[in-house]
Structure 1
Amino acid sequence: MKVVIVGGGAGGISTASNLRKMDKNCEIVVLTRDDKVAYSPCAIPYVLSGTIKSFDDIVMRTPEDYKKKDIDIITEVEVTAVDSGKKTVTYESKSKSKTIKYDKLVLATGGNPFVPPMEGVDLEGVYQIRNIDDGIKVQEAIKDAKSAIVTGAGLIGIEIAFALMKQGLNVTLSEMMPQIVPRSLDKDMSDILVKYLEMEGINVVLGKPITKLIGDKKVEKACFDDEELIDADMVILATGVRAELDLARMAGCEIGRWAILVNDRMETSVEDIYAVGDCVESKDLILGFNTISQLGTTAVRESKTLARTICNKKSKFNPVLNSMVSKVGKLEFGAVGYTTSFAQQNRIRPVVQKVEALTRARYYPNAKPMDIKIICDGNGTIIGCQIIAEERVAERIDTMTLAITEGLTCFDLSNMEFAYAPPVSMVTDPLILAVEEVSKKFN
């Protein structure tokens, strides 16, 4: 059996690795346009900030390492054609074009950075950060820059803005929505982040789109809402990614609203063609509709399911909640499930409670404030949670991910047993405080 995988990101490489663990004899070929594989794009902002010393440190393995596992990774090639009838893939390198046969084809094509329709995006000094090479270009540009604008205040945008600020640049973070991280946080929670970013010296501009970039060959200023001008020696476009679907369409795969449609075994509508990662749609756990989950954790989970599918083992990819966590400076923030506004958009009347607690016992040194927000539906079932603190956010988001997955109510959770020690928690865990408070809103 010959398995050809298009894409060398988390989905593609993890599929290859998991497949090799389960099948020692199949032929595995990975085709990727990049020159590096098995690295974490999520770590790029932390290299730019200087927290991680080098881009080399975030590359876990090389193509040669995979060669030892009998996985053939062909780098710096562009796949130009897929023929699902003949079961062939055509790719081009710098010197040649080659067509190869497959028995099973995996599309892990990821996403392309979205370029906003604004004047001046082709000026020098305007960057997108998709891979390590993009990160290196920005790292070099920082040396000669004094000011920067990052447009798009999702996770990557915030992390990059903070990284540039740490390198001494005068940074503006812009978001056309009236709040930052709109998919994961409610505005009252995101306002806590905005206050922290501004305290650290980052100028945050909300609710004003950049209408054009101005400069003579090289970017010099950004124009907001056709009025306000802000200086910028460099501009980072962190406006999200769109699924790369050209090959899927060429192969005849059914496409949904945003990406490739797959079942819970990661099979597309075309026989012997599968898809994983940023280019596929997933099922939402709470309401069951299709959504996108462009997270590394999702891609890795999908790849494990797919490897089992290809090996004819029992497999099923569970629906998603899009749990996330990030850290900027001293502040950690995380979320899982629905925000209040998203629940309302989907005709759920949310019952919401926000509480302030501490990360350790009140009397223990260095206890930090923790803001927690719990969202329930009308029956008390937990459908969302948001947390901001200087420590211990990730493990509590994971706890709430499990609670939502199991369909627990706020009443169920308020009766659960939690571990306690003064250096790591209050005697009544902050999560318990939050669900106890929201429980009071029910008869």
Structure 2
Amino acid sequence: MKVVIVGGGAGGISTASNLRKIDKDCEIIVLTRDEKVAYSPCAIPYVLSGTIKSFDDIVMRTTEDYKKKGIDVITEVEVTAVDSEKKTVTYESKSKEKTIKYDKLVLATGGKPFVPPMDGVDLDGVYQIRTIEDGIKVQEAMKDAKSAIVTGAGLIGIEIAFALKKQGLNVTLSEMMPQIVPRSLDKDMSDILVEYLESEGINVVLGKPITKLIGDKKVEKACFDDEELVDADMVILATGVRAELDLARMAGCEIGRWAIITNRHMETSVEDVYAVGDCVESKDLILGSNTISQLGTTAVRQSKAVARTICGWRSNFNPVLNSMVSKVGNLEFGAVGYTSSFAQQNRIRPIVQKIEALTRARYYPNAKPMDIKVICDSEGRIIGCQIIAEERVAERIDTMTLAITEGLTCFELSNMEFAYAPPVSMVTDPLILAVEEVSKKFS
């Protein structure tokens, strides 16, 4: 069996590795336009900040490492054609074109950065960050820059803004929405994060889109809402990604609202063609409708399912909740499931409770404040949680991910057993305090 994988990101390279674990004999070829593989783009902001010493440190494997495992990773190539009837893939490398056959094809084409339709985006000094090569360009530009604007206040935008500030630049973080991280946090929770960013010296501009970038060959200023001008030696577009679908369309795959449609085995509508990662639509656990889940953790889980399916195990990829966690400076923030505003948009009446607690016993040294928000539906079923604190956020988000996945109500979770020791928690865990408080709204 010959498996060709297009894309060397988390979805593609993990699919190759998982295939090899299951099948020691199949031929595996990975085609990627990138120079480096087996690294996490999530680590790029931490290299830019200096927390991680070098971009080399975030590369976990080389093409030679994969060659030893019997996986042929061909870098710096562009796949130009897919013929699903003839079962062929055509790619170009250094002006040479080659066509190869496949038995199974996996599309892991990922997403391409969205470029806002505004004047000046083609000026020098305007960057996107998707790959290590992008990160290296920004790292070089930082050496001569004094001011920077990061537009788009999702996770990557916030992390990059903080990284640039840590390196001594005057940083403005802009978001056209009236809050940051709108997909994961409600405004009252995002306001806590904004306050922290501003306390660290980052200028946060909300509800004002950048309408144009100004400069003579190189960017010099950004214009907000056609009025306010802000100086910028460099501008980072952190405005999200859109699924790369050209090859999927070429292959004849069914395309949904945002990306490729697959079944739970990661099979597309075309026989022997599969898809994983940012180019795929996932099933939402709560509503059961299609959504996008452009997270590395999602791509890795999908890669396990598709590898097993290709090898005849018919493994399933489960619906998603888009659980996330991040850290900027000393502050951790995480979320899972729905925000209260998203619930309302989808005709769910949210029952909400926000509490303040501590990360350790009140009397134990260095206990940190913890803000927790729990969202339930009208029957008490937990459908969302948001947490901000200086420590121990990730494990509590994971706990709530499991609770939502299992369909637990706030009443059921409030009666469950949690571990306790003064250095790591209050005697009644903050999660229990939160669900106990929301439970009172049902009495």
Q: TM-score, normalised by structure 1?
A: 1.00
C-alpha offsets along residues 46-68 of structure 1, whole Å, 9 cap, x if unaligned? 00000000000000000000000
The offset of 1:265, in angstroms, is 0.0
Measured in 1, the distance between the counterparts of 2:95 and 2:272 equals 30
3-state DSSP of counterpart to 2:314: coil
User: What does residue 199 of structure 2 align with?
Assistant: 199
1:391-416 CA distances to partner (integer Å, 9 max, x unpaired)?
00000000000000000000000000
TM-superposition CA deviations, 1:223-246 (whole Å, max 9, x none):
000000000000000000000000
Give distance in 2, aligned partners of 1:401 and 1:103: 37
Q: CA deviation at 1:165?
A: 0.1
Deviation sequence 1:413-433 (CA, Å, 0-9, x none): 000000000000000000000
1:339-362 Cα deviation digits (max 9, x unpaired): 000000000000000000000000
Q: Kindly indicate whether residue 234 of structure 2 is the aligned counterpart of residue 234 of structure 1.
A: yes
Cα deviation, 1:33-82, whole Å, max 9, x if unaligned, reads 00100001000000000000000000000000000000000000000000
Question: Which residue in the other structure is 1:406 paired with?
Answer: 406
1:95 is displaced (CA, Å) by 3.5
State how 1:223-372 maps to structure 2 within 5 Å. Answer: 223-372=223-372
C-alpha distance in structure 2 between counterparts of 1:360 and 1:18, whole Å: 40
Q: Give the 4+ runs in structure 1 shifted more than 3 A.
A: none
Deviations 1:91-127 (A, max 9, x none): 0011310000000000000000000001000000000
Q: Encode CA deviations 1:172-210: one digit per residue, 9 max, x unaligned.
A: 000000000000000000000000000000000000000
- Tell me the SS of whatever aligns to 1:230: strand
Question: Structure 1 CA distance, aligned partners of 2:437 and 2:70?
Answer: 56
Secondary structure in 2 matching 1:441: helix
Match of 1:42 in 2: 42
Tell me the distance in 1 between the aligned counterparts of 2:21 and 2:366. 45
Q: Shift of residue 320 of structure 1?
A: 0.1
Supply the distance in 2 between the matched residues of 1:160 and 1:405 (Cα, whole angstroms). 32
In structure 2, C-alpha distance between the alignment counterparts of 1:346 and 1:235, rounded to whole Å: 35
Q: What are the superposed Cα offsets for residues 144-190 of structure 1, whole Å, 9 maximum, x if unpaired?
A: 00000000000000000000000000000000000000000000000
**1:98 alignment partner, SS class:** strand
2: CA distance between counterparts of 1:133 and 1:307? 29
- 3-state SS in 2 of match to 1:198: helix
**Percent identity among equivalent residues?**
91
CA distance in 1, matches of 2:217, 2:420: 60
- Return the alpha-carbon distance in structure 1 between the equivalents of residues 73 and 316 of structure 2: 27
- Aligned-CA RMSD value: 0.3
User: Where does the alignment leave 5 or more consecutive residues of structure 1 unmatched?
Assistant: none
Deviation at 1:283? 0.2
With the length of structure 2 as denominator, give the TM-score of the two structures.
1.00
Residue 321 of structure 1 aligns to a residue whose secondary structure is coil
For residues 182 and 83 of structure 2, what CA distance do their matches in structure 1 show?
40
- Residue equivalent to 2:378: 378
Aligned length: 443
**CA distance in 1: counterparts of 2:290 and 2:364, whole angstroms:** 46
Whole-Å Cα distance in 2 between the matches of residues 94 and 362 of structure 1? 63
Cα distance in 2, alignment partners of residues 117 and 94 from structure 1 = 32
Shift of 1:376: 0.1
Q: CA deviation at 1:137?
A: 0.4
Shift in Å at residue 289 of structure 1? 0.3
Partner of 2:441, secondary structure, is coil
Give the Cα separation in 2 of the matches to 1:430 and 1:350.
20
Q: After superposition, what is the alpha-carbon deviation per residue over 1:330-380, rounded to whole angstroms, capped at 9, x for unaligned?
A: 000000000000000000000000000000000000000000000000000
1:417 is paired with a residue of what secondary structure?
coil
Deviation at 1:314, TM superposition (A): 3.5
